[in-house]
């Protein structure tokens, strides 16, 4: 049903009527499928369980709960599996319907309320900026637009529980629902659509939700490429066209031609921190696959443009520039020229596009030849590089190439520009728009699709340098040096032409692999694209030497120009470093593309606190400043949300991340350095997630500065980028927020703070310190807490989900929280409905603060919530997590622990803290119930809960059966051959709860 009548939006029920119709249609089809393929018995059990769970939500009567548990306990394993799948598939269908409804609402705003655009859109953001603007608004907008840089980075962190096979079916169902929105559908076509929809629902029912093999890294690469292929390639020009139109209409500002305010990054195939399967050859193949996809997309579009561009010289004469370009192409590609001139003698646009097409084909063939280019035959073999061809020269070669391939996206963009400008000059402006659209895609995706970040743990670099230096005649090897000695030695090595690594050197497999990563980067920059790799991220950065070590290793592959001395930087006094000034003849090392940059990742609470000090030491280092100048004086710094939250709790993590950003910018400004902050956010609140639009607006003053880089992972990628219009809306929300945050901060100095803000920050410092102590008391000092986590959640079963190539623990077999990754930590608590990472320690710390002066301090917190974006965003995210948590369900897990006393003791502590947190959050927000200020989300959770509950009760029952088999063989009711089916059923519940909660890790 479409929404052509504006009166349908008079209330929430009317707005959601099309959504309810979609859910009813899909639900009816699922019911029919269930009866036909699962049998009447299964359908009756499903209906009985659903009714009991609904009754429990209305009135949690003990007798109703007892009846539900007895029913589930008596089911056979086959019935349990059927029941789980029924609810799980239902949630898959509901999620599809909700995604499509988001598209429907977006279209409705565009069609029927042009004067009141959708919240968070570029149009709405520009309207608000204009209303609050002043005489300098246009110049500030222009300044922000010229600097604008938005970089979503796709990661392979394993939080997407759905298989790609199912995601493709989901997309087809969304397309069918969109077709149903046409009110003028003939009855016959409506019947056909209904039959197609029924077939897809049936196919989903017959598709196994559980992966039975561990995905490889290249599987993960292909999964990410799916989103670029299916949605992002087409969403980008739509977003940029909307941005350009709104800028022109609202502020008379133009988007710079050829600039790419939006581009994409990826960690998939480059993130080797803790993942032994991300090898140098995997990284090489990743880069090749990425390029292959984007070249094929370009080839398809250029072919279509050529087919449509039939303008004749008689009616649309080409520009002199286009004619000269065609002549050059004809000289370089004589065979192609014969074919083109014979086929299209009077059609210059087709001629030029045919040459472009052939160059793209040649580039794709060259890409295929790169498949075996590395030739790694033994684990100890160093990848070959060509010392005779310095990388600086390779990257700054003139574009007079004669091998008829594209070496960079800039070359392709320039060819297209000549076509577009000639069309415009020849009054073929409408035809030029299609070329301009492709130009936007080329400016964004270049020849590499997404820039691949490399990431490795600082310990690996330290180990490599220790092995390398052990063979040198040094007073101490690298491991034996203290920090001051390491910095001095590394600095000297960076300023010395002599390499440390001989061409025939032999090292251990680990050190060889570490060195080969840089050699792959060297080859990629030369042979794939100058922008294929830009940044090397150092996990667990704790000292300045952690970054200098990477530069020394990069130097061994020719990524760092040898012999770059302090004098070359114009720094006569190394102790006086403010603004290094390279002379004009050093233009080669000024080129930001001349080598990869190195970026620290500060992850733990302690690391975040020390981050400004570490960066100051680096900025004080003369050789590092030279390298920074070679990168355009732009320093990227990554801050980790997931590990800091696991380390110190959500409240302390949020505050320390905010403080670190402000202090990092203060240090950077003192040294005239530009910062690009890279936000390593997860999907859930417990890993720094939550609505990205609000999160960006809540960043500390002066820290966005028109630039943001942010991770996208797991189920977040699926929810934001699986459909083109959803992808466009997601990118629009981020773009609008970055512009709004930058405009509000333009011209302001972050270090200047109002007394009121200083007071709020002081309060936050006090609350955070209390929260940190409370969190540590719960998680690290409570006896048996980690055992409770492993027993009261399905975290141990997650390893069988096969949702990622990276191991769940840094050290296999470890029982330590520190060695557990943040993803399973959040995933486990989410499954058991505790959602503890999103609220633990908040209630106690806020209550303690209020208790010091009840009326005064509560009023102060309410004021902070009302007027401070940071505090409002933090409280809102915590409130959302509290609303999704359910301690009636969490109790079921605690009561079935193998150690009942442990379960009762820990659960009582957590329940008390949960209730305290709910109470104090309601006091601050002034609501009667959680999410009263967000009725749509509140309603969504309430509607979903009765359908998630059955899967939670089933999960508890199945976990109890499995653990009984593990602890008491005599009591186990399953023969060894049946236990695989029991595990399979548990994995189905994990998938189902993830679909129902719309959150995993």
Residue positions annotated with a catalytic role: 157, 646
Distances (CA, A) of 979 to 77, 383, 964, 973, 983: 10, 46, 12, 10, 6
DSSP letter assigned to residue 801: S
CB 806, CB 275: distance < 8 Å: yes
Structure tokens at 446: 């270049």
Q: What is the DSSP letter of 636?
A: E
Burial state string for 780-806 with b = 16 or more CB within 10 A and e = fewer than 16: eeeeebebbbebbbbbbbbebbbbbbb
Q: Cα(767)–Cα(777) distance, rounded to whole angstroms? A: 15
Q: Which two tokens stand for residue 234?
A: 């087409």
Q: HSE (CB half, 13 Å, CA atoms) of 579?
A: 4
Q: Shortest CA distance to 650 belongs to which of 611, 689, 612, 700?
A: 689
- Token duo for residue 228: 């670029």
Rounded Cα distance between 371 and 363, Å, is 13
CB of 287 within 8 A of CB of 448? yes
DSSP-assigned letters across all residues of 256-309: PTT--SB--EE-TTTB-TT-TT--HHHHHHHHHHHHHHHHHHHHHHHHHHHHH-
Residue 207 CA: distances (Å) to CA of 165, 219, 950: 8, 19, 21
**What is the helix, strand, coil percentage profile of the chain, to 5?**
65, 5, 30
Alpha-carbon gap, residue 894 to 447, rounded angstroms:
53
Q: Which residue has the tokens 């003939």?
A: 186
User: How many whole angstroms separate alpha carbon 782 and alpha carbon 70?
Assistant: 34
Contacts of 837 (CB under 8 A, 6+ apart): 645, 646, 649, 650, 684, 685, 686, 687, 825, 826, 829
Instruction: Please give the Cα distance from 618 to 898 (Å, whole number).
Output: 52
CA distance 749 to 688: 26
The gap from C-alpha 983 to its chain's centroid, in whole angstroms, comes to: 30
CA-CA-CA-CA torsion sign (638, 644, 646, 649): negative
Q: In what helix (H) or strand (E) does residue 329 lie, and over which residues does it extend?
A: helix 320-332
Q: Residue 414: CB partners within 8 Å, gap ≥ 6?
A: none
CA–CA dist 604, 811 (Å, integer): 18
- Do residues 572 and 563 make contact, with C-beta atoms less than 8 angstroms apart? no
Measured on CA atoms in the order 531, 535, 536, 539, is the torsion positive or negative?
Answer: negative
């Amino acid at each position: 049903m479409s929404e052509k009548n504006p009166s349908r939006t008079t209330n929430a029920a009317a707005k959601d009527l099309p959504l309810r119709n979609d859910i009813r249609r899909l639900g009816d089809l699922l019911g029919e499928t269930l009866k036909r393929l699962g049998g009447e018995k299964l359908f009756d059990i499903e209906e009985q369980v659903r009714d009991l769970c609904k009754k429990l939500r209305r009135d949690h009567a003990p007798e109703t709960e007892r009846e539900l548990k007895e029913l589930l306990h008596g089911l056979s394993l086959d019935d349990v599996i059927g029941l789980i799948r029924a609810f799980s598939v239902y949630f898959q269908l509901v999620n599809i319907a909700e995604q499509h409804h988001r598209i429907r609402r977006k279209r409705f705003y565009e069609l029927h309320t042009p004067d009141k655009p959708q919240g968070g859109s570029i149009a709405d953001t520009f309207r608000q900026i204009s209303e609050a603007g002043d005489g300098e608004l246009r110049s500030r907008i222009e300044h922000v637009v010229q600097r604008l840089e938005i970089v979503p980075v796709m990661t392979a962190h394993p939080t997407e529980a759905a298989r790609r096979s199912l995601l493709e079916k989901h997309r087809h169902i969304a397309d069918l629902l969109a077709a149903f929105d046409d009110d003028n559908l003939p009855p016959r076509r409506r019947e056909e659509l209904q039959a197609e929809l029924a077939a897809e629902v049936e196919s989903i029912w017959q598709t196994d939700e559980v992966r039975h093999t561990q995905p490889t890294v290249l599987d993960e690469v292909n999964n990410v490429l799916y989103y670029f292929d299916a949605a992002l390639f087409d969403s980008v020009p739509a977003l940029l066209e909307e941005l350009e139109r709104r800028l022109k209409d609202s502020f008379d500002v133009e988007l710079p031609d050829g600039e790419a305010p939006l581009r994409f990054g990826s960690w998939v195939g480059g993130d080797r921190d803790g993942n032994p399967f991300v090898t140098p050859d995997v990284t090489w193949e990743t880069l090749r696959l990425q390029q292959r996809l984007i070249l094929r997309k370009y080839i398809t579009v250029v072919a279509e443009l050529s087919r449509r561009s039939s303008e004749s010289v008689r009616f649309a004469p080409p520009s002199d520039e286009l004619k000269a370009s065609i002549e050059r192409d004809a000289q370089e590609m004589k065979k192609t020229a014969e074919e083109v001139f014979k086929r299209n003698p009077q059609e210059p646009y087709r001629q030029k596009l045919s040459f472009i097409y052939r160059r793209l084909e040649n580039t794709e063939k060259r890409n295929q030849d790169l498949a075996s280019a590395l030739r790694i035959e033994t684990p100890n073999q160093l990848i070959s590089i060509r010392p005779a061809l310095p990388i600086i020269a390779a990257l700054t070669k003139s574009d007079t190439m004669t091998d008829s391939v594209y070496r960079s996206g800039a070359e392709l963009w320039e060819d297209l520009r000549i076509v577009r400008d000639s069309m415009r000059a020849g009054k073929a402006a409408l035809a030029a728009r299609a070329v301009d659209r492709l130009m936007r895609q080329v400016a964004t995706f270049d020849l590499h699709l997404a820039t691949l970040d490399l990431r490795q743990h600082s310990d690996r670099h330290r180990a490599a340098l220790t092995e390398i230096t052990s063979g040198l005649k040094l007073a101490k090897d690298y491991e034996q040096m203290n920090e001051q000695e390491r910095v001095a030695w590394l600095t000297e090595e960076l300023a010395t032409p002599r390499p440390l690594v001989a061409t025939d050197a032999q090292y251990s497999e680990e050190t060889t692999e570490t060195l080969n990563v840089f050699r792959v980067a060297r080859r990629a920059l030369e042979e794939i694209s100058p922008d294929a790799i830009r940044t090397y991220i150092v996990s667990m950065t704790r000292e300045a030497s952690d970054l200098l070590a990477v530069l020394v290793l990069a130097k061994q592959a020719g990524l760092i120009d040898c012999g770059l001395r302090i004098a070359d930087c114009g720094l006569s006094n190394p102790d006086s470093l403010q603004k290094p000034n390279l002379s004009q003849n050093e233009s080669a090392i000024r080129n930001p593309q001349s080598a990869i940059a190195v970026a620290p990742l500060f992850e733990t609470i302690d690391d975040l606190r020390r981050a400004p000090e570490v960066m100051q030491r680096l900025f004080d280092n003369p050789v590092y400043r030279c390298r920074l100048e070679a990168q355009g004086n732009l320093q990227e710094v990554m801050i980790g949300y997931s590990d800091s939250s696991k380390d110190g709790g959500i409240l302390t993590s949020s505050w320390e991340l905010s403080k670190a950003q402000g202090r990092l910018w203060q240090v950077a400004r003192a040294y005239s350095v530009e910062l690009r902050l890279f936000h390593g956010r997860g999907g859930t609140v417990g890993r720094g997630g939550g609505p990205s639009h609000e999160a960006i607006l809540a960043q500390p003053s002066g820290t966005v500065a028109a630039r943001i880089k942010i991770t996208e992972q797991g189920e977040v990628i699926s929810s934001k980028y699986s459909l083109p219009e959803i992808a466009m809306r997601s990118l629009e929300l981020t773009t609008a927020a970055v512009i709004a945050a930058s405009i509000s901060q333009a011209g302001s100095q972050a270090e200047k703070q109002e007394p009121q803000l200083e007071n709020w920050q002081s309060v936050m410092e006090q609350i955070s310190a209390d929260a940190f102590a409370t969190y540590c008391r719960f998680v690290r000092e409570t006896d048996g807490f980690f055992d409770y986590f492993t027993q009261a959640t399905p975290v141990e079963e997650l390893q069988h989900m096969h949702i990622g190539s990276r191991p769940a623990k840094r050290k296999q077999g470890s029982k330590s929280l520190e060695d557990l990754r943040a993803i399973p930590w959040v995933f486990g608590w989410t499954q058991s409905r505790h959602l503890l990472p999103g609220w633990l320690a908040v209630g106690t710390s806020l209550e303690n603060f209020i208790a010091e002066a009840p009326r005064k301090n509560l009023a102060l917190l309410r004021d902070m919530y009302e007027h401070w974006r940071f505090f409002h965003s933090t409280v809102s995210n915590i409130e959302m997590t509290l609303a999704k948590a359910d301690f009636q369900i969490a109790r079921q897990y605690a009561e079935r622990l193998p150690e009942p006393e442990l379960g009762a003791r820990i659960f009582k502590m957590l329940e008390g803290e949960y209730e305290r947190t709910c109470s104090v959050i309601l006091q601050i927000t002034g609501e009667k119930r959680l999410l009263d200020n967000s009725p749509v989300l509140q309603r969504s959770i309430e509607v979903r809960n009765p359908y998630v509950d059955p899967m939670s009760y089933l999960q508890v029952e199945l976990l109890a059966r499995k653990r009984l088999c593990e602890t008491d063989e005599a009591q186990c009711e399953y023969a060894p051959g049946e236990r695989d089916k029991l595990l399979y059923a548990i994995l189905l519940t994990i998938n189902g709860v993830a679909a129902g909660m719309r959150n995993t890790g």
